[in-house]
Amino acid sequence: MSRTEEFELIIVGGGPAGLCAAMYAGRGMLKTALLERGVPGGELLNTEWIDDYPGFEHVLGRELAQKMTAHALVFGAELRQENVESIVRREGGVFEVATTGGTTYEAPAVILTAGGTPTKLDVPGEHEYAGRGVSYCAVCDGAFFKGDTIAVVGGGDAAVEEADYLTRYAEKVYVIHRRDEFRASRILQERLFANPKIEVIWNKQVRELGGGPAGLESLLLEDTVTGDAQSLKATGCFIFIGFRPNTGLIKQHVAHDASGYVITDDRMMTSIPGLFAAGDLRVQLTRQVTTAVGDATTAAIAVEKFLKDRQAGVPGAKVGV
């Protein structure tokens, strides 16, 4: 049975950005609903250890997620387990956030923190060894592989740049690419080829990831030309073959870059008045837990001002646009 609920603010996504925004919205005494399809935490739940979040030298991803969730609840935010289908801004400035459960949430402001999804290899062992050798973030996990032999999969800017970055920790870095040339920019390629710790393995694709109780141990590679198979020993596999921002929920045009990341102003507002964005789906230099919560802090405080201006009829709030 369908029903409608009204709030001052709806937050879509329950990762670090969403939970931080909910905490600040609660502190601001805004009637807020955070909608998350699963357990709150986002990518924190897929990361075993985090050692680059201030105040926590070494913390389990799920533990940090639990602490952030508890902190948001302390200030009165409502966390609802809902799968959001669409976000639409009606004439007059009220948003309709429709869910698969049949409930429609209405509010004059929305903060979208739905993050993004790294493209997976979809091979045996990838899910099993995620967080135990398989990673999609060099900055997050590189320090865990000091002195190890690791592999980087991909041929674009991200793969080439992160492979070079990972040599500050790993003793040896293999870059595995399915073609015989990179798509990465020339300057990044020159830097990679000049690094003595890096070896490129051309015309190969990963078919399986294997290991044991301690984690990843090897990669099974297939030659894209001959079909021959070979095994490569490595305790880490960093996959950089694409990242898709979760912006498909927005059913109206919103300004974005060529890769689909949402463009915001310095208050995190998008080109749609009242729609704010924070975290991994926003155009920015880097995507870390720290940048996600920084975005969210700005967005939540900006929403307070936006709602006050809207109530007062301030032109900048664009009430009727």
Tokens 């919560």 label which residue? 293
The H or E element containing residue 239 is: strand 236-239
Active-site annotation holds for 237: no
Q: Which of 236, 242, 206, 207 is nearest to 118 (CA)?
A: 242
Show the tokens assigned to 285.
């230099």
Residue 210: closest CA among 186, 230, 234: 234
Six-digit token string for 265: 């102003």
Catalytic-labelled residue, pool 141, 164, 280, 295:
141
List the catalytic residue out of 51, 122, 140, 265. 140
Q: What is the CA radius of gyration of the chain?
A: 22
If DSSP codes are grouped into helix, strand and coil, which group holds residue 18? helix
CA distance 265 to 274: 12
Give CA–CA dist 271/253, Å, rounded.
Answer: 9
Classify 19 as helix, strand or coil.
helix
Of 52, 137, 148, 309, the active-site residue reads: 137
CB neighbour list of residue 183: distance below 8 Å, 6 or more residues apart: 155, 156, 157
Residues shown for the chain? 321
Q: Mind giving me the DSSP string for 90-112? A: PTTS-EEEEETTSEEEEESEEEE
* Residues contacting 93, CB < 8 A, separation 6+: 108, 273, 274, 310, 318, 319, 320, 321
Please give the distance of CA 147 from its chain centroid, rounded to a whole number.
28
End-to-end Cα separation, the chain, in angstroms: 32
List residues with catalytic annotation. 137, 140-141
